[in-house]
Amino acid sequence: MAFACLTATAGDWPAYRGPAGNGICPERIATEWPADGPPLLWRRPLTEGFGSMSVADGRLFTLVLGEDAGGPRELCVAFDAVTGDPLWSADVGPGGGYQSGPEAEAGGSDGPRSTPVWHAGRVYVLATYLQLSCLEAATGEVVWSTHLRNDLEAYTIPWHSAASPVIADGALLVSTGRAGRAMVGLNPADGAVLWRSGSGNYTHATPVPVNLAGRSQVIFATWEGLLALDPATGAEVWRHPLAFNHTSVGA
C-alpha cells in the first residue's frame, strides 16, 4: 500500500519564514530542557550555502554549492527529516562567482542564498543566477525549468539573486525588475506565465504573502519602495515609497 501526503502538516516549515511567510511557528516550544541541552538526533555536513531549510512531508530541503567537471553548480538536496539520511540531489543551475558588483570587496563566502518552497508534493527553487526549477519532492526529478533572465527578461543585480520563490493563491511569485512587468505570477504546475505586472527594480528580498483588510496580497520590496499586488491577478493594491534605494533593502 502506497501513501502520498500532498499537504503540509503540523510542524512543517515548507517555505522561507514558515508556513505563513511571517516567521511564526505554530508549534509550542518546550519550557524545560535537559541541563546539557536537547539530545542530538542526527548531523549531516553540508557544503557552502546561505539559504535556510524547508521541511514538509517528512523531508528536509535546502540549497548547497556543488561541483562537476564544468565548475561550481548549485544543488537542491533532500534528507529524511527523522533520520537525516540523504534522499536525493538535483542540479538547479551554475554556482560560484557570487561576489560581483560594487560590494564584492566586502568579502564573505560563496554559496546559494535562496530557500526552496514545498507545495503539493513538489519543490520550487530559484537559483542565484535566476534559473527557476520545479522538482518532484519524492525523487528530485525536474518537472519543469525556466530561466528568468533568458525567458522573462530579468536583469542581474549586484551579488545576484538571494530571493526565494513564494506560492500564494495558486501562483508562483518571483521578480524580474522589468518596467511594467517587474513581478511575475507563474502556474506552479507547468511554469506558464499567468500574469506580469508592476514596476520597480527588484531586490534580494523575498515577497511576503499577507491578508490585509480581508484581502489576499503579496508585498514586494523594490528599490523604490513597497508594492502590494493581488497574487491571483497581479492587480496593484497599493504602493508605498521608501527613501533607501538599494538591492539589499528588506533582505
Which residues of the chain form CATH 2.40.128.630? 165-251
Q: What is the pLDDT of residues 207-251, one digit of tens each?
A: 999 999 899 999 988 888 899 999 999 999 999 988 766 666 565
Using CA atoms, how far apart are residues 221 and 201, in angstroms rounded to an integer? Answer: 9
Alpha-carbon distances, residue 60 vs 38, 44, 81, 109, 238 (angstroms) = 20, 12, 5, 23, 36
Using CA atoms, how far apart are residues 75 and 11, in angstroms rounded to an integer? Answer: 25
Using CA atoms, how far apart are residues 112 and 196, in angstroms rounded to an integer? Answer: 26
Which residues of the chain form CATH 2.40.10.480? 45-162
Average pLDDT, the chain: 86
How confident is the prediction along the chain (251 residues), in pLDDT tens digits per residue?
A: 233 344 445 579 999 999 988 889 888 888 899 999 889 999 999 998 889 999 999 999 999 999 887 889 999 999 999 999 999 999 999 888 776 544 444 455 578 999 999 999 999 999 989 999 999 999 999 999 999 999 988 877 777 888 999 999 999 999 887 777 789 999 999 999 999 998 777 788 899 999 998 999 999 888 888 999 999 999 999 999 887 666 665 65
pLDDT of residue 202: 75
Residue 197: exposed, middle, or buried by beta-carbon count in 10 A (0-12, 13-18, 19+)?
middle
Query: For the domain 165-251, what is the CATH code?
Result: 2.40.128.630
Q: 0.95 exceeded by the pTM?
A: no
Q: Which residue has the cell 530571493?
A: 163
Q: Assess contact for 113 and 165: CB atoms under 8 A.
A: no
Q: Assess contact for 77 and 61: CB atoms under 8 A.
A: yes
Listed residue (247, 161, 148) closest to 196, CA to CA: 148
pLDDT of residue 66: 93
Per-residue cell: 223: 528599490
Q: Assess contact for 19 and 11: CB atoms under 8 A.
A: no
Using CA atoms, how far apart are residues 112 and 49, in angstroms rounded to an integer? Answer: 5
How distant is the alpha carbon of residue 180 from its chain centre?
Answer: 23
Q: Assess contact for 69 and 84: CB atoms under 8 A.
A: no
Fold of 45-162: Thrombin, subunit H (2.40.10)
**Sheet holding 215-221: strands in order across?**
208-212, 215-221, 225-229, 236-241
